[in-house]
Structure 1
Amino acid sequence: MTNGNSAPRRTFLGSLRPYLEKAPLAALALGISSGFPYAMIGATLSTRLAQEGIDTRAVTAFALAILAYNLKFLWAWIVDGVRVPILHRLGQRVSWLIAAGVLVMVATVNLGLVDPQASLARTAYAAVFLGVAGATLDIVVDAYRIEILTPRQLGTGSGMSQYGWRIGSVAAGGLALFLAARIGWEAAYAACAAFALPAMLTGLLVGEPARHRDVSHKGLIDGARAAWGPLQEFFRRRGAFLVLLFILLHKIGDTLASLTFRLLFEDLGFTNDEIAIYDVGFGFGAYLAGIFVGGILYARMGMKRSVLLSLILMAVSNFSFAALAAAGHTTTGMAAAIGFENFASGIGGVVVVAYFSALCDLRFTAAQYALISAAASVVGRILTGTTAGTLIEMFGYVNFYLLTTLAACPGVILFWLMMRAGLVDSSIGTAGTEDEGDARQA
Structure 2
Amino acid sequence: MATTVIESAGWRAKVPDVFRPYTQPAPLAAFFLGISSGFPFAMIGANLTTRLAQDGIDKKAVTAFTLAFLVYNLKWLWAWAVDGVRLPLIGHLGKRVSWLLLAGVFVMAAVANLAFVDPKSSLLATAYAAVLVGFAGATFDIVIDAYRIEILKPEELGVGSGMTQYGWRIGSVAAGALALVLASRIGWEWAYLACAIFALPAMLTGLIMGEPERHRDPVAKRATGEVWQSIAGPLVEFFQRKGAFLVLLFILLHKIGDTLANLTFRLLFDDLGFTNDEIAIYDVGIGFWAYLIGIFVGGIVYARMGMKRSVLLSLILMGVSNFSFAALASAGHNNWGMAGAIGFENFASGIGGVTVIAYFSALCDLRFTAAQYALISAAASIVGRFLTGTSAGAMIEAFGYVDFYLLTTALAVPGIVLFWLMMRAGLIDASVGTAGTEEPAPQSAP
Decide: shared fold, TM above 0.5: yes
Q: 2:408 aligned with 1:408, yes or no?
A: no
Superposition map of 1:28-43 within 5 A: 28-43=31-46
Q: 2:250 aligned with 1:246, yes or no?
A: yes
2-structure distance, mates of 1:398, 1:186: 34
Q: 2:194 aligned with 1:210, yes or no?
A: no
Shift of 1:78: 1.6
2-structure distance, mates of 1:388, 1:187: 30
TM-score normalised according to structure 2 size: 0.81
2-structure distance, mates of 1:251, 1:129: 24
Shift of 1:27: 0.8
331, 348, 354: which is aligned to 1:350? Answer: 354
Q: Secondary structure at the match of 1:425?
A: helix
Q: Deviations over 1:375-408 (max 9, x none)?
A: 1112223334455566667777666555443332
- Once structures 1 and 2 are overlaid, which stretch shifts more, 34-43 or 393-402? 393-402
**Do the aligned partners of 1:33 and 1:168 also contact (CA within 8 Å) in 2?**
yes
- Once structures 1 and 2 are overlaid, which stretch shifts more, 121-130 or 247-256? 121-130
Q: Which residue of 1 aligns with 2:385?
A: 381
TM-score normalised according to structure 1 size: 0.81
Distance verdict in 2 for CA 1:11–1:413, change over 3 Å: farther
143, 150, 153: which is aligned to 1:150? Answer: 153
Q: 2:174 aligned with 1:171, yes or no?
A: yes
27, 35, 38: which is aligned to 1:24? Answer: 27
Shift of 1:247: 0.6
2-structure distance, mates of 1:420, 1:381: 30
- Once structures 1 and 2 are overlaid, which stretch shifts more, 200-209 or 189-198? 189-198
282, 286, 305: which is aligned to 1:282? Answer: 286
Q: Deviations over 1:281-325 (max 9, x none)?
A: 333321221112112222222211110111122223234455566
Distance verdict in 2 for CA 1:114–1:148, change over 3 Å: same
Q: Deviations over 1:101-153 (max 9, x none)?
A: 23223334444566778987666544433332221011110111111111211
Shift of 1:334: 4.8
Q: Secondary structure at the match of 1:364?
A: helix
- Once structures 1 and 2 are overlaid, which stretch shifts more, 231-240 or 14-23? 14-23
Q: Secondary structure at the match of 1:14?
A: coil
1-structure distance, mates of 2:280, 2:298: 25
Distance verdict in 2 for CA 1:11–1:261, change over 3 Å: farther
**Do the aligned partners of 1:46 and 1:59 also contact (CA within 8 Å) in 2?**
no
2-structure distance, mates of 1:410, 1:49: 33
Structure 1, unpaired ranges of 5+: 1-9, 437-442
Q: Which residue of 2 aligns with 1:139?
A: 142
User: 2:413 is matched by which residue type in structure 1?
Assistant: C
Shift of 1:223: 3.9
419, 434, 438: which is aligned to 1:430? Answer: 434
Q: Secondary structure at the match of 1:212?
A: coil
Q: 2:397 aligned with 1:362, yes or no?
A: no
**Do the aligned partners of 1:234 and 1:240 also contact (CA within 8 Å) in 2?**
yes
1-structure distance, mates of 2:120, 2:185: 20
Structure 2, unpaired ranges of 5+: 1-12, 441-446
Distance verdict in 2 for CA 1:185–1:71, change over 3 Å: same
Q: Which residue of 2 aligns with 1:85?
A: 88
2-structure distance, mates of 1:396, 1:188: 32
Q: Deviations over 1:318-344 (max 9, x none)?
A: 344555667777665554443222211
2-structure distance, mates of 1:177, 1:286: 20
2-structure distance, mates of 1:193, 1:170: 14
- Once structures 1 and 2 are overlaid, which stretch shifts more, 250-259 or 344-353? 250-259
Residue correspondences, number: 425
**Do the aligned partners of 2:149 and 2:361 also contact (CA within 8 Å) in 1?**
yes
1-structure distance, mates of 2:160, 2:19: 12
Q: Which residue of 2 aligns with 1:128?
A: 131
1-structure distance, mates of 2:126, 2:405: 38
**Do the aligned partners of 2:100 and 2:203 also contact (CA within 8 Å) in 1?**
yes
